[in-house]
Amino acid sequence: MRNIILSALVILFTLVSCNQKSKQQEETMDSTVNKTETETTIVKVNPTAFSIKGIVDNYLSLKNALTKDDSDASADAGKAMVVTLEKIDMKKLSAEQMKIYMDIADDVKEHAEHIGDNGGNIAHQREHFVLMSKDINDLVKTFGTEQKLYQDFCPMADGGKGAIWISEVKDIKNPYFGSEMLTCGSVRKEL
C-alpha cells in the first residue's frame, strides 16, 4: 500500500512539473512573438515616404494568376516582380529600415525568380508562393500600404500545415488550389 501511495505521489509530481514546464515554454514563445512584433512596429515607415505599391501590385497579379491555375501568367508576374524589386528607391529609408527591407526583399526576389523560371510547373510555383506570402505580409506590416488588403488563410495549403496569402478583395479566391478549391479559406484580418 505504501508503494502505491509513493508511486501516485511521484506520478502527480511529474505531471505538475511537466505542466509547469509546458506553461513556461508557452510564455517564452509568446514573449518571443511579442518581441518580434514589437521590433517590426518600431521601424514602421510612412507609406508616402517609401512605397511598396509596385511590389504589392506584382504580388496581387501573381496571386490572381494562381487562382486561375495559369502558370504562364504566374511566371510573367514573378518576372515582373524581380524587375520591380530591382527598381525600388530606398533613399528615404534609415539604415535599420533598409536592412529590414533588404532581408525581406531578398527572400521575395528569390521566390519570384523561382516562380518566374517555372512556367508550366504550378505546383512548384505554389510552394514558393507560400513563402513569398509570408514575406509580403511582413513587408506590408513593416512599411504599410496605400490600399485596403486582407490576410487570408487556407488550412489545407502547404501540405495541410496551412498558409496565408494577401488579397485586395474580401471574397476568398484561393491561389493554393485554384479551380480545385477556389473558395477554401477565410479572411483572417484586414491590413
Q: For the chain, how many residues are written?
A: 191
Residue whose entry in the numeric block shows the C-alpha cell 515607415: 45
> Letter for the amino acid at 100?
I
* Distance in angstroms (rounded) separating the CA atoms of residues 64 and 58: 10
Mean pLDDT of the 82-109 span:
92
Contact 66, 167 (CB under 8 A): no
Mean pLDDT over the full length of the chain? 81
Range among 2-6, 79-83, 90-94 rated most confident: 79-83
Q: How far is CA 60 from CA 3, 76, 171, 189, in A?
A: 67, 12, 14, 17
Contact 136, 156 (CB under 8 A): no
Mean pLDDT of the 122-131 span:
96
**Using one digit for the tens of pLDDT, what is the confidence trace for 29-65?**
333 333 333 333 434 554 446 889 999 999 999 999 9
**Using one digit for the tens of pLDDT, what is the confidence trace for 9-31?**
444 443 343 334 333 433 433 33
**pLDDT (0 to 100) of residue 34:** 35
**pLDDT (0 to 100) of residue 92:** 84
Mean pLDDT of the 128-143 span:
96
